[in-house]
Amino acid sequence: MRMTKQRKMILDLLAKTEQPKSAEMILTELPDHTMNLSTVYRTLDTFFIQGLVSKSNMKNTAYYYINKKDHHHYMICLGCQKMYEIDCHLDHIADQVAKEHHFKITHHDMTVYGYCSDCQLSQL
């Protein structure tokens, strides 16, 4: 993958943000206003395939976050969209299955959905 100036800008932005961001959010925060939404989407898609970013889907919107070596996943409340970090324990499980099937893993993705305690109360 070629690391163009635009790609680097998006990656830098994701690297310094705590919360996962949608393509729209990324676009508004980019210092370069020459990029359009489809460029941002295409770039994020490339990053995802390369394993540089992970994504979680919420109400038809994908939220992207950077894949660190010591990475984590998210648990998202479907009511208020609050996000909680989850430590990843998937790697060694996936490695076992991959070995059985001679599968070469590039990266993985996981999101847990549900309702936080506040939203459970408001659903009663």
Comparing CB distances to Zn ion, the nearer of 10 and 116 is 116
Helical spans, DSSP H, in 51-124: 90-100, 117-122
Among 13, 52, 76, 116, binds Zn ion (CB under 5 A): 116
**Contacting range for Zn ion; rule: CB under 5 A; set: 1-9, 33-41, 97-105, 112-120:** 112-120
Among 88, 93, 94, 121, binds Zn ion (CB under 5 A): 88
* Nearest by Cα to 65 from 97, 121, 110: 110
Comparing CB distances to Zn ion, the nearer of 4 and 81 is 81
Distances (CA, A) of 2 to 47, 108, 114: 11, 22, 38
Question: What is the total count of residues that contact Zn ion (CB under 5 A)?
Answer: 7
- Interaction between residue 98 and Zn ion (CB under 5 A): no
3-state SS class at 17: coil
Among 9, 90, 107, 111, binds Zn ion (CB under 5 A): 90
Alpha-carbon torsion angle 29, 32, 34, 40, nearest 10:
-50
- Interaction between residue 77 and Zn ion (CB under 5 A): yes
How far, in Å, CA of 2 to CA of 105, rounded? 22
Comparing CB distances to Zn ion, the nearer of 28 and 57 is 57
